[in-house]
C-alpha cells in the first residue's frame, strides 16, 4: 500500500475580517496531491480470500485478529484411534471441534493435566505425527497409537 502524498498539506491563509481590527480568519489551502496512494477499501484492506483464510464470510480485520489469537481445546481419546492403518500407513483419530475450519493452520500444544501424568502425556503427544484440519473436526495421525488420552489446545489460525 502507498500513502497519499500532499504537497503542503497544512497550509492556511490569514484573511482579515472586514470591520474588525486585528481579527483574522484561517482559510485552509488544500495542498497539491503528488501521489494518490492506495484507496482504503475492503478489497485493499481485507479481501474475500483473506477472509476465507480466517474461516470468515465477509469478515473484517477485527474479526480476523480475534481468530488469530483464538484457543480451541480437545481431547485425543485412546479409544478413538483406528484399529488398523489406512492406505497411507497411518493410524487416525477423528476429533470433533465445531469451531475448527479447514483453512486454519493452528499451533497444536499439549495440555498437561497433572504432574503425575506429565511424562506419559508428553510421550503420548510426541507419538502424534501430524494434525489435519477440516471444517468441524481434526484428523490426528500416528504410526504408534498412544496408550492414554491426552488433552491438547489449538492456538491461532
pLDDT tens for 53-104 read: 888 888 888 888 888 888 999 999 999 999 999 999 999 999 999 999 998 9
Question: What is the value of pTM for the model shown?
Answer: 0.69
Report residue 1's pLDDT band, with 50, 70 and 90 as the boundaries. confident
Is there a contact between 26 and 14 (Cβ–Cβ < 8 Å)? yes
Each domain of the chain, given as residue ranges in start order, spans: 5-49+57-63, 70-155
Q: Distance between CA 129 and CA 113 in Å, rounded?
A: 21
Quote the percentage of the chain above a pLDDT of 90: 71
| Burial class (CB within 10 angstroms; exposed 0-12, middle 13-18, buried 19+) of 74 | buried
Query: What pLDDT does residue 55 have?
Result: 82
Residue 48 phi/psi, 5-degree rounding, is -65, -30
pLDDT tens for 29-40 read: 988 999 999 988
Q: Is it the case that residue 151 has pLDDT exceeding 90?
A: yes
Query: What pLDDT does residue 54 have?
Result: 83
Q: Using alpha carbons, select from 27, 28, 26, 24 the residue that is nearest to residue 10.
A: 28
Q: Is it the case that residue 156 has pLDDT exceeding 90?
A: no
Report residue 43's pLDDT band, with 50, 70 and 90 as the boundaries. confident
Stretch (H or E) spanning 139: strand 137-142
Query: What pLDDT does residue 5 have?
Result: 92
Q: Is it the case that residue 131 has pLDDT exceeding 80?
A: yes
Amino acid at each position: 500500500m502507498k500513502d497519499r502524498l500532499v504537497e503542503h498539506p497544512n497550509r492556511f491563509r490569514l484573511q482579515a475580517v472586514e470591520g474588525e481590527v486585528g481579527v483574522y480568519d484561517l482559510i485552509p489551502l488544500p495542498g497539491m496531491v503528488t501521489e494518490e496512494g492506495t484507496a482504503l477499501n475492503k478489497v485493499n484492506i481485507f479481501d474475500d480470500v483473506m477472509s476465507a483464510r480466517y474461516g470468515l464470510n465477509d469478515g473484517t480485520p477485527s474479526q480476523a485478529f480475534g481468530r488469530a489469537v483464538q484457543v480451541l481445546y480437545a481431547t485425543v481419546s485412546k479409544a478413538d484411534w483406528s484399529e488398523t492403518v489406512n492406505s497411507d500407513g497411518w493410524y487416525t483419530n477423528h476429533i470433533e471441534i465445531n469451531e475448527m475450519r479447514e483453512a486454519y493452520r493452528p499451533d497444536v500444544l499439549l495440555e498437561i493435566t497433572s504432574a503425575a501424568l506429565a511424562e506419559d502425556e508428553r510421550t503420548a503427544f510426541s507419538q502424534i505425527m501430524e494434525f489435519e484440519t477440516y471444517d468441524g473436526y481434526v484428523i490426528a495421525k500416528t504410526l504408534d497409537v498412544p496408550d492414554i488420552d491426552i488433552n491438547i489446545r489449538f492456538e491461532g489460525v
